[in-house]
Amino acid sequence: MNQTPTTPSASDALLFRLLFDPDQSDAVRETILPRLGERLTHKLPYRLGELPDWPENVTVLAYLDDAAIAEFAPQAAVRQWRIALLPHPGLEQARLYFGVAQDLSGALDNALADQKERRFDLFYCNGRLVFHSVVVGKVFSLGGETLSGFERIWNILWVMVAGFRAVKPHAYTLVTAKDKKLDTAALGLVMVEEGGSSLLSRRILDDDGSNDGMLDALVLAPRSRMEMARFLLASLLPVSRRKRLPPFVGHLKTESLTVTSPEPLDYLHDGVWTSARRLELNVSAKVLRLLPGRYLDLREEVCQTKETYKVQSLPAGEAKIAIANKALPWLHRAGPEEFKELYSTLRDSARASPAYLTLMVLSTILATIGLFANSAPVIIGAMILAPLMAPIISLAMAVVRQDSPLLADCLRTLGVGILLAVACAAVMALLVPLRSVTDEIAARLSPTLLDLGVALVSGAAGAYAHAREEIAKSLAGVAIAVALVPPLAVSGIGLGWGDWIIFQGAFLLFLTNLFGILLAGNLAFLVLGFGPFNQARRGMLAVSLLVAVVSVPLTLGFASMVERQRIVQTLEGAEIAGVVVREAAVRTNKPMHDLVAGLTSIIRRLQNRGTQEQKAQADEPLYLTARLLSPTAIDSAAVERVKAAIETRLERPVVLEATVAISR
């Protein structure tokens, strides 16, 4: 026989006492009382500061707003009342905090379900209950719960565009429950008891630590506006599953925390601004007996006693004094203690040690052999072996820091290394009975702006690799990319052969690499905060002028490269005088011909007057190689007709080296 399930009777079901807002009497009478029925034993309107004298272990339904719950919940914990919350129209912060359903009917269903009570932590700031977060400092909405998505985006964009000047780090002293003391300067502090309670903590902390008897304090201390801008932009993106601490944020986890400052502390307590001279924050663990709301994901956590103290990245000592109460610089400025080891390494690299001199000789010999043998792998080995990159990076630091002794050491070491490399290569050129310009030698005789681009990128990478120890292993790749010793070896070969043109082209490539690395290294060290721009301005100007001077012939070489490419595209596959042109190429008759050709190309493009004959007379002959395809045999007269047609098409004289092929 089937039996219909019955609901618990008033004798065995949980009984309730109701505290309600007298201004919501209609909702109580129309909705709440009918649902409770016989399970309601007492009902009482609640007024701030007035609590009924009810015994322990009673279950109280609270239909109150945020302000009333902030007073009622701690008293309920003291009196050992079991409580459940109903969604009052003014219950916003507490409703989210306790996971209460938004509709009154659903919340009543949840309360009447006879669920198991849970023990809940209470988080206090200066004796006042905190539902979400305490945010110290007028930075931007780190609380995040009181603003809509659009309002948060607008607030962040306003800070980035107009609010940077008003944002200044302030000095703070934080003392944990175990008397660990932190003196730092920060833009703001965020204190929460649950990881999802604020915009910042939600991006960094896991929610697994909620209700564990500890509070989390995040110290926001960016050293520059650029660093802060990166974080603000990242805060607009979806929260990553992989939570990690940003490099400018410190994290403390403790049972209680004291915050003091030389200035009054302006802070947001659950989205409401207030001020105090001192903040006392603490968590009372497992004190509130709660019938949890429908959306409260409450884990059975064992109260922790081990503190978290991750503050290595925060400014302290001289760094704290340097930024406290001052507008953030655009670029990060590293304190002396932050790059002491790096500076020591760079000083060692600036000295012409026996190891440096030995490696210069060996790498030059290896590079010269590779150039004569036309062997790229051997030349790459010389690039890795060469020690020239280190003193150039040290020179970049010397320019940024305006360190005269370091600058002198770097210039002396570089000068010795350059002379040694050129001399070794010249001696080998005299001793080796070879005098042919191999492809590897020719590739280093006509530098262009592309080579300067490689040098700039390599210089930035080299400076960054020196500043960040964890990526120092990338220096080998930087050395291969920029290739300092092979151009010096080619210059030495040019001297040994007595060929000034070869020396000029190769040494121009070396200067391009040198000045490009130096300029990019300066910029990289500035961005990384190893020197203020005002201090480095004079040295940066000098290096920029050197790069500008070198860029003139590089621009000419690049213009020549573009012109050659245009000519090849014009001729390749074209049918000229009954013949199809294939494998067209422009051959330079001299190594420095690219510079002359580039200058000529620029002049021709700037000319707006003059006859075609006058322009042709001003041009040097263009050396072309091509393969001429014809269905029949062609004689020298036909080749002359092809040459004349090419000259007409290119509007300049050419010297044609043609290979004739019959296509049938």
- What integer pLDDT is reported at residue 17 of this predicted model? 95
pLDDT at 150 over 70: no
| CA end-to-end distance (rounded Å), the chain | 101
Beta carbons of 189 and 220 less than 8 angstroms apart: yes
Higher pLDDT, 104 or 207: 104
Span 488-522, pLDDT tens digits: 999 999 999 999 989 999 999 999 999 999 999 99
Is the pLDDT score of 169 beyond 80? yes
User: How high is the pLDDT of residue 340?
Assistant: 74
CATH topology of domain 16-115: Rossmann fold (3.40.50)
Greatest mean pLDDT range, 368-372, 441-445, 559-563: 368-372
Q: Is the dihedral of CA 505, 506, 511, 514 positive or negative?
A: positive
Distance CA 476, CA 489 (A): 19
The SS3 assignment for 160 reads helix
* Residues contacting residue 645 through CB under 8 Å, at least 6 positions apart: 576, 577
CA dihedral 640, 642, 648, 650 (to 10 degrees): -120
pLDDT higher than 90, residue 159: no
Q: Which has the minimum average pLDDT: 30-44, 226-240, 591-605, 625-639?
A: 591-605
Nearest to 396 by CA among 480, 446, 460: 460
Cα torsion angle, 62, 65, 71, 74, sign: positive
Please provide the average confidence, as pLDDT, over all residues in the chain: 83
Question: DSSP letters of 63-99?
Answer: E--HHHHHHHHHHHHHTT-EEEE---TT-SHHHHHHT
- Phi, psi at 662, each rounded to 5°: -100, 125
Structure tokens at 310: 């991750």
| pLDDT given for residue 145 in this prediction | 47
What the block records as the tokens of 414 is 């570089």
Q: Residue 534: enclosing H or E segment and its boundaries?
A: helix 533-571
Domain ranges of the chain: 16-115, 128-284+296-323, 336-531, 560-662
Token pair, residue 432, equals 């080796």
Each residue's pLDDT tens digit, 410-431? 999 999 999 999 999 999 999 9
Its pTM stands at 0.66
Q: Which of 468-472, 510-514, 551-555 has the lowest mean pLDDT?
A: 468-472
The DSSP element (H or E) to which 542 belongs, if any, is helix 533-571
Taking residues 443-461, report their average pLDDT: 90
Q: Please tell me the distance from the alpha carbon of residue 629 to that of residue 634, in angstroms, as a whole number.
A: 9
> Which is it for the CA torsion 11, 13, 15, 21, positive or negative?
negative
- The share of the chain scoring above pLDDT 90, in percent, equals 43
**Strands 181-186 and 579-586, bridge-based pairing:** unpaired
Alpha helices for 304-353 (secondary structure H) = 318-323, 340-349
Q: How far is CA 235 from CA 203, 204, 240, 595, in A?
A: 8, 11, 10, 51
pLDDT band at residue 607 under the 50/70/90 scheme? low
Q: pLDDT tier at 609 (50, 70, 90 boundaries)?
A: very low
Dist. CA 616–CA 647, nearest whole Å: 9
Residue 612 confidence (pLDDT) above 50 = no
Q: How far apart are CA 659 and CA 642, in angstroms?
A: 12
pLDDT exceeds cutoff 50 at 470: yes
DSSP calls for 612-647: HHHHHHHSPPEEEEEEEEESS---HHHHHHHHHHHH
Q: Is 604 left (phi over 0), alpha (psi -120 to 50) or beta?
A: alpha
pLDDT at 276 > cutoff 90? yes
What would the mean pLDDT of 615-622 be, rounded to a whole number?
Answer: 60
Q: What is the predicted pLDDT for the residue at 473?
A: 53
Same fold, 16-115 and 128-284+296-323: no
Tally of CA atoms within 13 A in the half-sphere of 565 that contains its CB: 6
Is 128-284+296-323 assigned to CATH 2.60.200.40?
A: yes
- Judge whether 551 and 532 are in contact, CB under 8 Å: no
In the prediction, which pLDDT does 638 show?
85
3-state secondary structure of 578: coil
Q: Which region holds residue 271: left if phi is over 0, alpha if psi is between -120 and 50, else beta?
A: left
Determine the Cα–Cα distance for residues 480 and 457; give it in Å rounded to an integer.
12
C-alpha–C-alpha distance, residues 157 and 152, integer Å? 9
Residue of 385 and 527 predicted with greater confidence: 385
Q: Render 270-301 in DSSP notation, one character per residue.
A: TTEEEEEEEEEEEEEEEEEEE---TT-----P
- The three-state secondary structure class of 585 is strand
**Are residues 206 and 288 in contact, defined by beta-carbon separation less than 8 angstroms?**
no
User: What are the φ and ψ backbone dihedral angles of 114, each rounded to 5 degrees?
Assistant: 55, 45
Contacts of 537 (CB under 8 A, 6+ apart): none
Residue 636: exposed, middle, or buried by beta-carbon count in 10 A (0-12, 13-18, 19+)? exposed
Residues 6+ apart with CB under 8 A from 170: 137, 185, 186, 187, 261, 263, 324, 325
| Helices then strands, each counted (H, E), the chain | 23, 19
Tracing tokens 């109460």 back to the chain, one arrives at 325
